[in-house]
Chain A
Amino acid sequence: MAGKVKITSSKEKRRNLINCVIAVIVAILFLFPIYWILAMSFKSDAESFGKLVTYYPHNFTLEPWIKNFQDAEFLSSLKNSICIAFLSMVISLVFGIPAAYGMGRYKVPGRKVFLLTFLVTQMLPASLMLTPMYLIFNKLHLLGTYLGPSLAIASGSVPFIVVTLRPYFKSVPTSLDDAARIDGCGVFRSFFKIMIPAIKTGVITVVVISFLGGWNDLAYSMTFNVKPDMRPLTANIYKFQSKYGTKWNCIMAYGAILVLPVILLFVFLQKYIVGGLTAGAVKE
C-alpha cells in the first residue's frame, strides 16, 4: 500500500518536471524578443548591424542609451509621452469611474442603452475616428496639443473602465453604503470614502491600463500632432529610424526605453493587469 503511494508520487514528480521543462521552453520562446531588444540595445554600432548575428553583446556598451538621453529631440518626445499618458489617464478616470459606479449600483431607466453604448464604443478602431476627429480638432484648434490626442485616447479608455469596474461595484454589498448613509455620509462622500477603497483592486487595474493606453498610443498622437516636437516617443519612432539609419542598437535602446515602464508595471502589478484584461473582455 505504502509502496504504491510512493510510486504515484514519484510518477507525479516526473510529470511535474516534464511540464515545467515544457513551460520553460515556451517562456524562452515568448520572452526571447524582449531579451533581444535589450541585448541589441547594449551592442556597439559595428556589432548591431554587422552581418554576423551575435546572441549577446560581445562589446557591452551603454552608448546607445546615453546617445538617446543626450538627444534633445528624444527628451522632448519622452516628455510628450508622459504628458499625453497622464492627461489621457486623468480624463479617462474622471469620466469612467463614476459612470461605472452609476451603472453598477443604480437601476436607472435607459441603463441598457448606456451599457450597449459603452460596449460598442470599446470596439471602435482608432482608424475609424482619425479623419473626422482630425477635421473637427482642426476647427477647434486642438491639433498640435496634448489635449487633442488625450481626448481621443480617453474615448477608448472610458468604456473599458466602465465595462471592467461595473461588476466590481455591483459586487460590493449594499449594506456597506447603507451604513455610510446612516452615518450621514453624502452620496459623493460615500463614493470616494467607501466605494473606491472597497474596490481598490479594480481601480488599480484601470489606472494602470488607462495609463498604458496613452503611453502606447501611436495613431492619434501621430495624426493630430503633425510636428515632431509635440509627438510622443511612439509617434517619433519613424524620425529616429531615419536618423539612426542602420544603427539598430540606438533604435532598440529607444524601443527599450518605451518598453521599460511597461515591464516594470507588469512585474509589480501583474495580478491586477491580468485580472483586468479578462474581466473587460470575456464574461461567462
Chain B
Amino acid sequence: MKMSMAAKKRREGYTFILPGFIYMLVVLGYPLIYNFVLSFRNVNVKTFKGGTDVFVGLSNYIELFHNETFLMVFKNTFIFTIGCLVVQFTIGFIFALFFSKKFTLAGPIRGMILVGYMMPMSVTALLGKNMFDVSSGVINDLFMKIGLINAPVEWLLNGSTAMIAIIAVNCWVGIPFNMLLLTSGLTGISTEIYESAEVDGANPFQRFLYITLPLMKPAILSVLMLGFIYTFKAFDLMFVMTSGGPLNSTDVLGTYAYTLSFKQYEFSLGSTAAIILFACLFIVGLFYLRLISKEDD
C-alpha cells in the first residue's frame, strides 16, 4: 500500500515531535495532575506509607488561608516580586538605553555584566550571605567607608532589611537580564524614525516618550510578565541565603511549599501551597501567551 505524500510527511513530523511531547506529558504533565489530586487529599508521611489517605475536598486550601504564616509568606512573595520588578526593570531599561548608544566599550561590557545570570543561584545566594554579613561583610564595610551608615546594619538578622538584601541580590541577576531583553526590543526600532523626529525638533525626552515607549510596548509588557513569572517562583535564593528567615520574613511560596512537604512531611499541604503559587503564575502566564502568540504562523 502506498501512502499519500501528505500522510507520509505528517508521519515524519510526528516521529520527530512526539517523543519530546510525550516526555513532557509523562515527566511533567502527570506530576502536575497528581499535584492537583494531592491538594484535595490528606497525604502525609503516615497516610502515604499506609496508603490510607482520603479525599478531603478543599480543606487544605481552607487550612492554608487560615494559617498566619502562610498569609505572611503569600504577602512576602508579592513584596519580593514587585520590589524586584520595579528595580530591575527601571535600571535594566536605563542600561538598555545607555548600552544601545554607539561607543567603543558598549558591546563587550553589556555582555560581561550578564555573567551573573548564568551562575548557579545557590552560589549567588551564598555570596549574598557573605557580603551582607554583619561583621565580616563587605557591604557594611563599604557603606561605612562612604558614610552611608554609621554602624554595621544587621542585614540578615531582621525581617525588613533581610528582604531588602534578598531583593538586592536578585536584582544583581535581574537587571542584566532585563537589559538584555529590552535591548533586543530597542534594536528593532529603526534609526530613521529618530532622525526625522530630531529634524522636526523633538528633544531627547520627547523622543523617548513619543517614539521609544510606544514602539517598545510589546517588549516592555513581555519583559514585565516574564520577570513576574521568573521572580515569583524564586526558591534557591531564599533557601540558601536566609532559609526563609528570620521568622519567615523572607519565606516565599516556593520555599514554604518545600518546608511543608519535606520538613513537616505534610505532602498535601505542600502541594496545595504549590498550586496556589501555580495559580498566580497561570494568570500572568495567560496574558503573556496571548501577547506572544500573536506572532505565530
Stretch at the interface among A3-11, A67-75, A107-115, A199-207: A107-115
Question: What residues of chain A lie closer than 8 Å to B112, measured between beta carbons?
Answer: 27, 30-31
Q: What is the distance, in angstroms, from B84's C-beta to the closest C-beta of chain A?
A: 15
Q: Which residues of A111-126 are within 8 A (CB) of B?
A: 111-112, 114-121, 123-126
Q: Is B119 in contact with chain A by the CB < 8 A criterion?
A: yes
**For B233, what are the chain A residues with a Cβ–Cβ distance below 8 Å?**
125-128
Can you offer 6 A-B residue contacts whose CB atoms are under 8 A? A20-B105, A132-B32, A219-B258, A255-B123, A277-B117, A282-B181
> Is A251 in contact with chain B by the CB < 8 A criterion?
yes
**Segment from B5-13, B66-74, B194-202, B206-214 that makes contact with A:** B5-13
Does any Cβ of B come within 8 Å of A215's Cβ? Answer: yes
3 smallest CB-CB distances across A and B, nearest first, come from A99-B20, A106-B13, A102-B16
Cβ of B131 within 8 Å of any chain A Cβ, yes or no, is yes
A283 at the interface (CB under 8 A from B): yes
Across-interface contacts of A175 in B (CB, < 8 A): none
Chain A residue contacts of B253, Cβ below 8 A:
127
Does the CB pair B235–A36 fall under 8 Å?
no
CB-based contact A281/B181 at 8 Å? yes
Interface residues on A, range: 35 or more
Q: Please report the C-alpha to C-alpha distance between residue A141 and residue B81 in the assembled complex, in whole angstroms.
A: 37
Q: How far is the CB of B269 from chain A (nearest CB, A)?
A: 9
The answer to whether A131 and B181 touch across the interface, beta carbons within 8 angstroms, is no
Measured CA separation A246–B137 after assembly (Å): 12
User: Residue A40 at the B interface, CB < 8 A?
Assistant: yes
> Given the known A-B contacts A19-B101, A33-B172, are A215 and B120 also in contact in the complex, defined by CB atoms under 8 Å?
yes
State whether A118 and B24 are in contact (beta carbons under 8 Å apart), knowing that A23-B103, A212-B118, A281-B226 are contacts in the complex.
Answer: yes
Q: Which of A63-105 contact B (CB under 8 A)?
A: 94-96, 98-103, 105
- Residue of B21, B172, B222, B261 touching A99 (CB-CB under 8 A): B21
Q: Report the Cα distance A219→B261, complex, angstroms.
A: 13
CB distance from A191 to the nearest CB of B (A): 8
- A27–B48 Cα distance when bound, in Å, is 52
Min CB distance A230 to B, Å, is 16
Are the CB atoms of B95 and A151 closer together than 8 Å? no
> Per-residue CB proximity of B156-188 to A under 8 Å, as 1/0?
000000000000000010011100110011001
**A residues 206-263 with Cβ under 8 Å of B?**
212, 215-216, 218-219, 223, 234-235, 237-238, 241, 246, 248, 251-252, 255, 258-259, 262-263
A101 contacts across to B, CB distance below 8 A? 16
- B119 and A259 within 8 A (CB): yes
Please state if A124 and B32 are interface contacts (CB–CB under 8 Å): yes
- Having A98-B19, A258-B123, one finds 5 other A-B pairs with CB under 8 Å, namely A106-B10, A125-B233, A128-B35, A131-B35, A216-B120
CA distance A19 to B297 in the complex (A): 41
Which residues does chain A contribute within 8 Å of B124, judged by CB atoms?
Answer: 33
- Cross-chain contact A284 with B103 (CB below 8 angstroms): no
Say whether, besides A40-B130, A219-B236, A255-B127, A262 and B119 are in contact (CB < 8 Å).
yes
Q: A residues bordering B, Cβ < 8 Å?
A: 15-16, 19-20, 22-24, 26-27, 30-31, 33-34, 36-37, 40, 48-51, 53, 55, 94-96, 98-103, 105-109, 111-112, 114-121, 123-136, 151-152, 154-155, 158-159, 162, 187, 191, 212, 215-216, 218-219, 223, 234-235, 237-238, 241, 246, 248, 251-252, 255, 258-259, 262-263, 265-266, 270-271, 273-274, 277-278, 281-284
Number of chain B interface residues as a range? 35 or more
Q: Which of A105, A131, A158, A282 contacts B274 (CB 8 A)?
A: A131
B interface secondary structure, majority = helix
Chain A residues with Cβ below 8 Å from B175 are 30
Chain A contacts for B14, CB-based, 8 A = 102, 108
Given the interface pairs A109-B10, A116-B289, the reply to whether A154 lies near B278 with Cβ below 8 Å is no
| Residue with the highest number of chain B CB atoms closer than 10 Å, among A121, A123, A270, A277 | A123
B78 on the A face (CB < 8 A): no
Closest B residue by C-beta to A137: B31
Complex interface: chain B residues within 8 A of A132 (CB): 31-32, 34-35, 38, 271
Query: Shortest beta-carbon distance, A260 to chain B, in Å?
Result: 10
Contact A121 B281 (CB under 8 A): no
Assess the A259–B235 pair: CB atoms within 8 A: no
**How many angstroms from the CA of A116 to the CA of B293 in the assembled complex?**
9
B87 interface hit (Cβ, 8 Å) = no
Per the bound structure, the CA–CA distance linking A65 and B120 in Å amounts to 19
Interface residues of B in 253-297 (CB under 8 A from A): 253-255, 257-258, 261-262, 267, 270-271, 274-275, 277-278, 281, 285, 288-289, 292-293, 295-297
Assess whether B235 is in contact with A127, with CB atoms less than 8 Å apart.
Answer: yes
Contacts of B219 in A (CB 8 A): 282, 284
- Determine if A282 and B254 form an interchain contact, defined as CB atoms under 8 angstroms apart: no
Q: Is there contact, CB below 8 Å, between A125 and B141? A: no
Instruction: List which B86-126 residues lie within 8 A (CB) of chain A.
Output: 95, 98-99, 101, 103-106, 109, 111-124, 126
B136–A50 touching, CB < 8 Å = yes
Cβ of B135 under 8 Å from chain A: yes
Chain B residues near A48 (CB-CB < 8 A):
136
